Amino acid sequence: MEGEKLKEKVLMVRRVAKVVEGGKRLHFNALVAVGDGDSMVGIGYSKANELIDAVRKAINKAKKNMFKVKFQKNQRTIPHEVEVEYKSCKLIMKPAAPGSGIIGETNLRSILELAGYHDVITKIIGSTNPILVAKVAIMALNSLETVDEVAKRRNIPISKVFQISE
């Protein structure tokens, strides 16, 4: 994975001040997404006393947490609609027509672009906390299945996956 050209995107940086007897102690939190723009993506969250260290640690965690995403056949969109809820954040993602682009919140758009998607419609209901949005996006991408996987899991031919049973 190190040999591949990975893109990094800092999604959030927070400066946290703790008041102590001698004054204020500053700490930093960083949320980073890493992807190759083709089919691999991961997120990392880290804390440190220096901003650069927090970002570097988050990038290393994101590289360790990378996974492969699934695409709709011959298109750069998700294979099916997905709805995921995590704590107070609910995410709805739908496939979009070619040329639509990624419609959604900034951090979510960055994660999907790093994963290699071009056309996805998203909606976040509830909390838009960047950490929750990143986690729910990763959960949604992990829950996607292709038609081949569904057919194999159900032990039926691909042609019968789309037939509606009565």
Q: 166 or 96: whose pLDDT is higher?
A: 96
What would the pLDDT profile of 100-147 be if each residue is shown by its tens digit? 999 999 999 999 999 999 999 999 999 999 999 999 999 999 999 988
Tell me the pTM: 0.90
Does residue 161 belong to any structural domain of this protein? no
Which among 49, 45, 41, 40 has a CA at the least distance from the CA of 10? Answer: 45
Q: Is 29 found in the same domain as 77?
A: no
Kindly tell me the sign of the dihedral angle through the C-alpha atoms of 128, 60, 36, 149.
negative
Give the range of the structural domain holding residue 81, as residue numbers without chain letter: 69-154
pLDDT tens digits, 147-166? 888 888 889 888 888 775 54
pLDDT score, position 88: 96
Do 73 and 54 share a structural domain? Answer: no
Q: Is residue 147 helix, strand or coil?
A: helix
Question: Which tokens go with 13?
Answer: 């940086």
Does 56 share its domain with 115? no
* pLDDT at position 164: 59
Is 46 inside a domain boundary?
yes
Give the residue-averaged pLDDT of 10-36. Answer: 96
Can you read off the two tokens belonging to residue 78?
């998700």
d(CA 82, CA 159): 22
Domain co-membership, 43 together with 73 = no
Judge whether 17 lies within some domain.
Answer: yes
- Give the DSSP H/E element, type plus range, for residue 52: helix 51-64
Judge whether 26 lies within some domain: yes
